[in-house]
Structure 1
Amino acid sequence: MGTTNETLPFFTQFIRFKAQYSDLPTLTFFVVANSIVCAYLILSLPLSIVHIIRSRAKFSRLLLIFLDAAMLALVTAGASAAAAIVYLAHKGNVRANWLAICQQFDSFCERISGSLIGSFGAMVVMILLILLSAIALSRR
């Protein structure tokens, strides 16, 4: 999503329309939220490996489950907000005079839709990981 942009010529080569993810604050929030969650998951990986080796650290496991749930909420917020913008980009809104831009900016819309699908896939994986962690903690 961070590299998504497309430029279309308009009548001449000097006048162009450009679409970037940074033009919409919602898509910027989507990129920032996913970046924060990605950094958290990378930083929490060593602690998770320590938990596999030492099985007695229950407090830090509980803390990881809590932080994982908070990161899931952040990903959900970013993906949900971006989904609203992607819907408007595809369908538009006649009452608000918002035109659908996906007829003109094809590759832009394909890329933002693809990154949105990836984010919703990450949400599903995070839900499964949180459930598995909670089940493992409750068994010990």
Structure 2
Amino acid sequence: MEKTEATTIEISESSRERKGKAPLLAAAVAHDRAASGYKRGVAIFDLILRISAATAALAATITMGTTEQTLPFFTQFFQFQASYDDLPTFTFFVIAMAIVTGYLVLSVPFSIVCIVRPVAAGPRLLLILCDTLTVTLATSAAGASAAIVYLAHNGNSDANWLAICQQFNDFCQRTSGAVVAAFVAAVLLIFLVVLSAVALKRR
């Protein structure tokens, strides 16, 4: 009789333990699903921002790379011409923004992987490292070119640099537009870095 009672008590205690663990497992599963849904939403937003940044960087590259203006004076044999490759800063701008555009296009598949597998930390960590480097490149190109555009618009009387935008109006407008597009791409890249950091933090 004593053995039977002991067996009965052990069975009842094990059933109680299982019943106590069931709500904990359900809560853990629900938490994992919520975190996965949150990270998937962040990854979708990341993809949208990445495509937008690639579009802005491509627009900046094409606009600057096709910028030139010729002013005829007296005869067609005597002309003044302004082109982006006359200035090393603008040449660096075109190369840098082309690299930024290429990287953003190549990073789109990794962003899609983050949507399919939102819990995976490897692709997200790779993106945040590369995005940080790309932000530096885009910001340096845009900042250096913005200084040249400012001088083209306003000149510098102390250095006897004349403003050329009164004559080369189209040239200045296109270079200014390219610089603005580059800054837009840089800002979007900063948002991408922040998003990746937030997604990695919520693990």
TM-score (norm 2): 0.67
Superposition CA RMSD, Å:
1.0
Correspondence list, 1:95-114, <5 A: 95-114=158-177
Q: 2:137 aligns with which of 46, 60, 74?
A: 74
Q: 1:57 aligns with which of 108, 120, 123?
A: 120
Aligned partner letter, 2:169: D
Correspondence list, 1:29-40, <5 A: 29-40=92-103
Q: Is residue 116 of structure 1 aligned with residue 116 of structure 2?
A: no
Cα displacement (A) at 1:57:
2.6
Question: Aligned equivalents of 1:6 and 1:83: distance in 2?
Answer: 19
Cα displacement (A) at 1:61:
1.4
More helix by share: 2
Could you tell me which residue of structure 2 aligns to residue 45 of structure 1? 108
Question: Aligned equivalents of 1:102 and 1:55: distance in 2?
Answer: 50
Do the aligned residues in 1 keep the contact of 2:139 with 2:186 (CA within 8 Å)? yes
Question: Aligned equivalents of 2:191 and 2:127: distance in 1?
Answer: 14
Question: Aligned equivalents of 1:38 and 1:44: distance in 2?
Answer: 10
Q: Is residue 131 of structure 1 aligned with residue 194 of structure 2?
A: yes
Could you tell me which residue of structure 2 aligns to residue 2 of structure 1? 65
Secondary structure of 2:82's counterpart equals: strand
Q: Write the deviation string for residues 87-113 of structure 1: whole angstroms up to 9, x where unpaired.
A: 110011112221110000000000000
Secondary structure of 1:111's counterpart equals: helix
Secondary structure of 1:8's counterpart equals: strand
Question: Aligned equivalents of 1:10 and 1:99: distance in 2?
Answer: 19
Cα displacement (A) at 1:12:
1.6
Structure 1 stretches of 4+ with a deviation exceeding 4 A read none
How many residues align? The count is 140
Gaps of 5+ in 2: 1-63
Question: Aligned equivalents of 2:158 and 2:72: distance in 1?
Answer: 28
Question: Aligned equivalents of 1:55 and 1:100: distance in 2?
Answer: 52
Question: Aligned equivalents of 2:98 and 2:140: distance in 1?
Answer: 13
Q: Write the deviation string for residues 30-83 of structure 1: whole angstroms up to 9, x where unpaired.
A: 111110000000001001101211134313311210110100000000000000
Aligned partner letter, 1:51: C
Question: Aligned equivalents of 1:44 and 1:8: distance in 2?
Answer: 42
Gaps of 5+ in 1: none
Moved more, 76-85 or 126-135: 126-135
Could you tell me which residue of structure 2 aligns to residue 87 of structure 1? 150
